[in-house]
Amino acid sequence: MDEVQRHSVHTLVFRSLKRTHDMFVSNQANLPEDDEKIEKLKKAIKARDTYGLVFKRVAQFQELKRKQEMNPDKPLAITNGEANPNDANSLALVSVTNPNAPPLTAGQTANSQVQLIPKKASSIPKPKWHAPWKLSRVISGHLGWVRCVTVEPGNEWFATGSGDRVIKVWDLASGKLKLSLTGHVSTVRGLAVSPRHPYLFSCGEDRQVKCWDLEYNKVIRHYHGHLSAVYDLAQHPTIDVLATCGRDSTARIWDMRTKANVHTFTGHTNTVASVVAQATNPQIITGSHDSTVRLWDLAAGKSVCTLTNHKKSVRSVVLHPSLYMFASASPDNIKQWRCPEGNFIQNISGHTSIVNCMAVNPDGVLVSGGDNGSMFFWDWRTGYNFQRFQAPVQPGSMDSEAGIFAMTFDHSGSRLITAEADKTIKIYKEDDEASEETHPVNWRPDILKRRKF
């Protein structure tokens, strides 16, 4: 008996592979044969999914046509549902029954007594009266442009961030400085206070996103990931996630506790200047210098809608506190949208400068702040501009230093806090002495403004 020749494992594996290759080489690149039954089923499912409503309408139309052919003598009309359809006098939409009407003469018929309901003319709503706003307090203390402002949920203090790299906490009632936080190595561009934790979040041009523990006044977490300056941040109102956006054309979602970068929203082609978060869909909305506004699905981590109506860069997006709407600001105009699909509502035109920021309060007062220091006050519902003025610069500053970078209402909606280029924070409040007689609504409906484009 011949001895079996022994080979190494490598040789045996190689031969096995070669035999397998030789066996399947003839049809290795071929696709499986088409199954006609499966193809027909696939097409039927796709057609029903895409055109199901059309098929249903066609079937209904054919059924109606078939009935007409079977009963050609019956007149087709919309009746009031009570009289006999064969009676020619019952073909009225609305019949007028006047007990005092004179009896019909020989020349009259019942049809001459028919009257249609007159259509009510559509009217543009008149704007609600709002009291004018006036400057209440000027707070100075920063050594650089004041770039961001936020009010804490208890409405007792507010925080500002500046080009001097310092975050300052101020008492809202007295305007006195309570605390200064240092740690950023470049301009602080965004701030947010957590409603559920003693945390303050900040971001800046140093690419850093920090979480400050306000019990110890120290940084306890850093969120690393942005490749360039971080321009804005927003907290989700119900879940512990943080949204940031910046010059790297992305918006990022962070887990507050674990510091994990949950999602990176890519799609914008230029700096993302503004981000807002809400509890209902779309949970994240961003505005960018690429002139678009994007609505994001937070669960899926992708864009669900891109609004391309703006012609110039969008620097500010603001949510209405009670209505299911938001507004976006650009130098061409301010646009209002309805959630969740981002349906266009109306243009608010008139603020022709670069609009850096907006704020809206529960009373429906929308304020926009310009890069040249101009402030416009609008009625949210109608877009009526009821007040406009130039923010006064700090004594010793040049007029060219007028510029509003950020603004927010306090939680009562009665005070407006602005962060400005003359290194001051200004607090505005409503004029208590004003009334509808002293400041009447000088409003004329502008039909062209409401054209949808």
List pLDDT tens digits, range 106-161: 445 444 444 555 555 556 788 999 999 999 999 999 999 999 999 999 999 999 99
Which residues face 367 on adjacent strands? 359, 377
SS3 10: helix
Cα–Cα distances in Å, from 155 out to 67, 120, 167, 251? 70, 46, 18, 28
- For residue 36, what are the contacts with CB-CB under 8 A and spacing of at least 6? none
Q: Given pLDDT bands bounded at 50, 70 and 90, which one contains residue 72?
A: low
Cα–Cα distances in Å, from 152 out to 25, 200, 320? 71, 9, 18
C-alpha distance across the termini of the chain, in Å: 94
What pLDDT does 119 receive? 56
What pLDDT does 117 receive? 58
Angle at 190 between CA 186 and CA 193, to 5 degrees: 125
Using the structure block, give the residue that is written with the tokens 């009217």.
123
Is the pLDDT at 77 greater than 80? The verdict is: no
User: Average pLDDT, whole number, for the chain?
Assistant: 87
Whole-angstrom distance, CA of residue 265 vs CA of residue 261: 11
What pLDDT does 85 receive? 46
- For residue 315, what are the contacts with CB-CB under 8 A and spacing of at least 6? 273, 274, 287, 289, 329, 330, 354, 355, 356, 357
Whole-angstrom distance, CA of residue 147 vs CA of residue 381: 29
Percent of the chain with pLDDT over 70: 85
Phi, psi of 100 (to 5 degrees): -90, 0
H or E stretch including 17?
Answer: helix 9-24
Nearest to 187 by CA among 213, 211, 167, 173: 167
Is the pLDDT at 204 greater than 60? The verdict is: yes
What pLDDT does 415 receive? 97
Nearest to 420 by CA among 374, 376, 361: 374
pLDDT digits (tens, 9 = 90+) for 241-288: 999 999 999 999 999 999 999 999 999 999 999 999 999 999 999 999
Torsional sign, CA 18, 22, 24, 27:
positive
Cα–Cα distances in Å, from 337 out to 98, 158, 344, 380? 47, 29, 5, 12
What pLDDT does 112 receive? 47
pLDDT digits (tens, 9 = 90+) for 395-453: 888 888 899 999 999 999 999 999 999 999 999 999 999 999 999 988 776 654 554 54
Q: Given pLDDT bands bounded at 50, 70 and 90, which one contains residue 92?
A: very low
Average of per-residue pLDDT across 205-221:
96
What pLDDT does 88 receive? 45
Task: Give 211 or 28, the one with higher predicted confidence.
Answer: 211
What pLDDT does 240 receive? 95
SS3 161: strand
SS3 299: coil
What pLDDT does 122 receive? 53
Using the structure block, give the residue that is written with the tokens 């406009």.
388
Q: Given pLDDT bands bounded at 50, 70 and 90, which one contains residue 8?
A: confident
Does this model's pTM top 0.85? My answer is no
Is the pLDDT at 80 greater than 90? The verdict is: no
337, HSE (Cβ side, Cα atoms, 13 Å): 27
